[in-house]
Structure 1
Amino acid sequence: MKMLFLSLVTAVPLLFLSGCEMVVFQPQGPVARSIMELINWSLMWMLLVVVVVFGLFGYIVWKYREKPENMGYEPPEEHGSTVLEIVWTAIPILIVIALTIPTVTTLYDLEDVPAGYEEKEPIVIHVTSADWKWIFSYPEEGIETINYVNIPEDTPILFKLTSAGTMQSFWVPALGGQKYSMNKMETELYLVADNPGSYMGRNTNFNGRGYAQMEFEVLSQTDEEYDAWVKEVKETAPELTEEKYMELLKPTHLGRLTYSNTHLAWINHADHDSELVTDPEDYRYHGYQGKIFDQEEENSNEKETTDVENNKEDHGGDHSGH
């Protein structure tokens, strides 16, 4: 009841302000619940500060307002109260501590398998973001999907995030917080869905014209449904070729696609030495499409910069008297 009351107290004003459904206050898994509890805790302290500050403000304005009996009164100069200064310095420090400890604890907890699921072996799914689509690779099952991901309910899922090009943000509000996906890097995110259901995920990091429509579906299924789906994909889905994959990476919107193998067989964009597949020419209609610098150009630029600096040092005395 306490958590329900807190959620209502904090969510109702936000609903009126936003005019939309607050998915983060309807968690469908342990990770999302931990985040909601942290949000509620923070909002409770914010509400307390606002009420106290505005209450004191109203009280002081009313108590020390100008009245006929004190018209023109000027109070004597005083040193002030050491006790009050200590109090109003200590209170913010205590509030910061009260917010910091649960925040740090929760963030560290979210890096591991959620509590209560330690005995279950996580399912590993590699997530590759590209403009403007999400690619999900199941290395253990040997299948790959685009713009949707199926998972079994009540099972920890380890998402390993990377990007084929620009940086994106992977977020499924009903199941957990967001994490960035970056080229030649890998971040990890644990999520669990309590029950079967469909949950929308999206990219929340601006990366060009198509980012607003860069959405995907997370479909939580029973174990039986999930196993049947994996079997069906292996038997019926077409095979993904390297040429087809490179075509998919171009900056376009795609529907839902399914393949009976993964692109990890020939490229893993999280590998620091992986090939860079982004082509600036594909972004020409955005205006300035950027440029890829190779090692020779970088060395040339460094040499030019060094020559300019040396030239300035050699002729520095010519301008000293100006």
Structure 2
Amino acid sequence: MIPLKSLGRLVRPGLLVAMAVLMTGCDWALFDPKGQIAREELTLLITCTVLMLLVVIPVIVMTLVFAWKYRASNTNARYEPEWSHSTAIEVVVWSIPCMIVLVLAVLCWKSSHALDPYKPIEHEKPGIEIQAISLDWKWLFVYPEENVAVVNELTFPVDTPLNFRITSDTVMNVFFIPHLGTMIYSMAGMETKLHLIAEETGTFPGRSAHYSGYGFNKMYFDAHSVSDAEYQQWLGKLRADGKTLDQAAFTALGAEKNHDWYPVTYYSSVETGLFDWLVERHMGDNHHFGMKHDAAAGGHDAHAGHAVEAAPAAAVEASAEAVSGEHAGHAAQPQADAHAGHGASGE
């Protein structure tokens, strides 16, 4: 029978080869940037990894070397049972990690501001606004400047800043195009922003990166980076073959809880302010988080004030009379009791 150690040594190379073969079919989208933001994020990822490996690799190597050198069978190894401290070792062990942490802190501080998803991309060409709305289980993209919309397909001109406004009509979700970088959440009643740019033409997969229900695995789309001429042709096709997207059509679209992939659907015209209407619809009376509502500043008192102003005058007067009568009744009762008491005492 083959010993377990010998069997492990024989099987290990085969496992490594099999893993290498299987991983060749993986889509390394994060390591294949197609835009400025994705490229800068990849540089940051590699830089941080290398800096951390400056500590990890020496520790692993020294662990193996020490284990081999000071094994029980090595009688030539130096034996110092009374040794307890070395200033030189302490300096090396603490100074190098501290310097690496300091470099990482400065690097992450700068990159967190430079790669802020809310920060517009500076470019000679004007940006395009795209409103991305997550539904169950599909993505709706509205182009307000072009007055068109499309479901499960995103098309934009290459080398042009993309200014995304993102929200949700249902549960929380995540908008993500790995080749272009940066994922960001979509939440009902709130608006998030994202700025991306594609520096190459091609088709890049987009997806939802947050589990949101039964049809979550079908919540993906293709992002097409095309030339300016092809973009205009796509807009012409969309306007010719599309339908009208108003509040009623949007409500019907959201009511379709598709479990399979929802087909690409074109809308040749969009009701003005549809995105803002959707955000407002889910906000209700919760006007917080910097939303443009005066009632938010006043809190409960402001809401109460608005309620009083909205109440009919007759109802307010009736309420006032009822309150006055109630107070008068309460005031008269103690007085009557008091007089009755005095009368009894006199008798």
Cα distance in 2, alignment partners of residues 234 and 211 from structure 1: 29
Cα distance in 2, alignment partners of residues 263 and 55 from structure 1: 64
Q: Name the SS for the 1:231 alignment partner.
A: helix
The match for 2:71 is 65
**Residue 263 (structure 2) pairs with residue 258 (structure 1):** no
Whether the 8 Å contact between 1:164 and 1:269 is mirrored in structure 2 is: no
RMSD: 2.7
| Paired residue type of 2:99 | L
| Paired residue type of 1:219 | H
**Residue 62 (structure 2) pairs with residue 56 (structure 1):** yes
Cα distance in 2, alignment partners of residues 113 and 245 from structure 1: 29
The CA deviation at 1:109 is: 1.6
| Structure 1 stretches lacking a partner, 5+ long | 1-13, 278-322
Q: Per the alignment, do residues 160 and 195 of structure 1 end up closer, same or farther by CA in structure 2, a change over 3 Å counting?
A: same
Cα distance in 2, alignment partners of residues 39 and 16 from structure 1: 25
Whether the 8 Å contact between 1:168 and 1:180 is mirrored in structure 2 is: yes
User: Which has more helix, going by share of residues?
Assistant: 2
Cα distance in 2, alignment partners of residues 85 and 270 from structure 1: 60
The CA deviation at 1:165 is: 1.4
The CA deviation at 1:262 is: 2.6
The match for 1:203 is 208
| Paired residue type of 1:133 | K
Q: Per the alignment, do residues 263 and 131 of structure 1 end up closer, same or farther by CA in structure 2, a change over 3 Å counting?
A: farther
One of 80, 88, 99 as aligned partner of 2:85? 80
**Residue 160 (structure 2) pairs with residue 155 (structure 1):** yes
Higher deviation after alignment, 230-239 or 220-229? 230-239
Higher deviation after alignment, 243-252 or 157-166? 243-252
Cα distance in 2, alignment partners of residues 101 and 17 from structure 1: 38
| Paired residue type of 1:113 | P
Q: Which is higher, the Rg of structure 1 or of structure 2?
A: 2
Q: Per the alignment, do residues 141 and 60 of structure 1 end up closer, same or farther by CA in structure 2, a change over 3 Å counting?
A: same
Q: Name the SS for the 2:167 alignment partner.
A: strand
Whether the 8 Å contact between 1:183 and 1:269 is mirrored in structure 2 is: no
Cα distance in 2, alignment partners of residues 68 and 58 from structure 1: 15
Which whole-Å deviations, capped at 9, do the CAs of 1:168-212 have from their partners, x for residues lacking one? Answer: 111101111211111111111111111221111000111112112
Whether the 8 Å contact between 2:244 and 2:267 is mirrored in structure 1 is: yes
The match for 2:95 is 90
One of 23, 42, 48 as aligned partner of 1:42? 48
One of 276, 281, 285 as aligned partner of 1:274? 281
Q: Per the alignment, do residues 102 and 264 of structure 1 end up closer, same or farther by CA in structure 2, a change over 3 Å counting?
A: farther
The CA deviation at 1:35 is: 1.1
| Structure 2 stretches lacking a partner, 5+ long | 1-18, 285-347
Q: Per the alignment, do residues 263 and 40 of structure 1 end up closer, same or farther by CA in structure 2, a change over 3 Å counting?
A: farther
The match for 2:232 is 227
Whether the 8 Å contact between 1:167 and 1:182 is mirrored in structure 2 is: yes
Q: Name the SS for the 2:170 alignment partner.
A: coil
The CA deviation at 1:51 is: 1.9
Whether the 8 Å contact between 2:198 and 2:225 is mirrored in structure 1 is: yes
Higher deviation after alignment, 231-240 or 125-134? 231-240
One of 18, 26, 31 as aligned partner of 2:32? 26
The match for 1:11 is none
Cα distance in 2, alignment partners of residues 99 and 170 from structure 1: 28
Aligned length: 261
Which whole-Å deviations, capped at 9, do the CAs of 1:281-316 have from their partners, x for residues lacking one? Answer: xxxxxxxxxxxxxxxxxxxxxxxxxxxxxxxxxxxx
Whether the 8 Å contact between 2:202 and 2:224 is mirrored in structure 1 is: yes
Cα distance in 1, alignment partners of residues 252 and 49 from structure 2: 46
Q: Per the alignment, do residues 97 and 121 of structure 1 end up closer, same or farther by CA in structure 2, a change over 3 Å counting?
A: same
The match for 1:305 is none
The CA deviation at 1:32 is: 0.9
The CA deviation at 1:256 is: 0.4
TM-score (norm: length of structure 1) = 0.73
Q: Name the SS for the 2:165 alignment partner.
A: strand
Whether the 8 Å contact between 2:52 and 2:100 is mirrored in structure 1 is: no
The match for 1:285 is none
